[in-house]
Structure 1
Amino acid sequence: MTGPVVKTGDLFVFYGLLKQGATGMPADLPLETSGRFLGPCRFRGRLLDLGGFPGVVDGEDLCHGVRYELADVSIIGAMDEFEDVTDDPATSLYLRKQIPLLGDDGAATGEQAWIYWYNQPTEGFEHIADGNWPLGKGRTRK
């Protein structure tokens, strides 16, 4: 996968299967040793249930996420592979992009974070109105 360069110390926001303690988190992705979880955050989007895993698309809901600080950039290839990020935006399940992080009140914190943004048609998928994917709702995708 080519694209924007991720650097050591960059933040990610995880909102689904990559959240710490989430059911369906890939066992072979060493998040605990490749960075550190920093706690909750919010961001704007529209959270969807894609059938055992979530996706977020453009929207104005105040969604829940978890901040993660990357320490080892060598994990990015495995993260992108798990999220089905490809070099072709037309077929990529998710795109990795940067968004502003928000506090519980919806105000900008001044932080930017990478996020895996859903990139396929959304018709027929349930909208999760509270913007919060439950830790126990996931299933392993791969």
Structure 2
Amino acid sequence: MLDQLAAIWNGLLSSLDSVPEDSIAVTAYVGGTILVLWCWYSIAKRLPKLIGGVTWIVLFAILATPTISEGVNAGVAPAIFGLIFGVLTKEQPLIWSNLSLILFVTGLGLLIGYLWSKYSESRDTTSI
């Protein structure tokens, strides 16, 4: 039985060797972000409507705001990692660029949420 499981496990690992590391990392990151946001949604819907929506938007902005990493392996990375790295290395330009991206996505999300709430209010009043 253990030999069969070991053979299955080795087959799975060998099939993962053919997939590029970048694809695995992006898939894990996107899947993890969706899972965290879905879990937070189940909590936020029990909160007052305004607080739940704002906290979901802020969490979305923190987790999903992209930036470009630096170095020889430069690629798309979450801005929160750049912000944390900038704080740890005390690089002010890195801190401000990543923080401004996160705040921009938060502001854009709040604006869209406000416009959506006004739209749904007007739709509810016209249907009555």
Q: TM-score range by the shorter chain?
A: under 0.3
Structure whose alpha-carbon radius of gyration is higher: 2
Q: Structure 2 length as normaliser, TM-score?
A: 0.25
Bigger fraction of residues in strand: 1
Query: TM-score under structure 1 normalisation?
Result: 0.23
Q: Which has the higher contact order (CA 8 A, sep 6+)?
A: 1
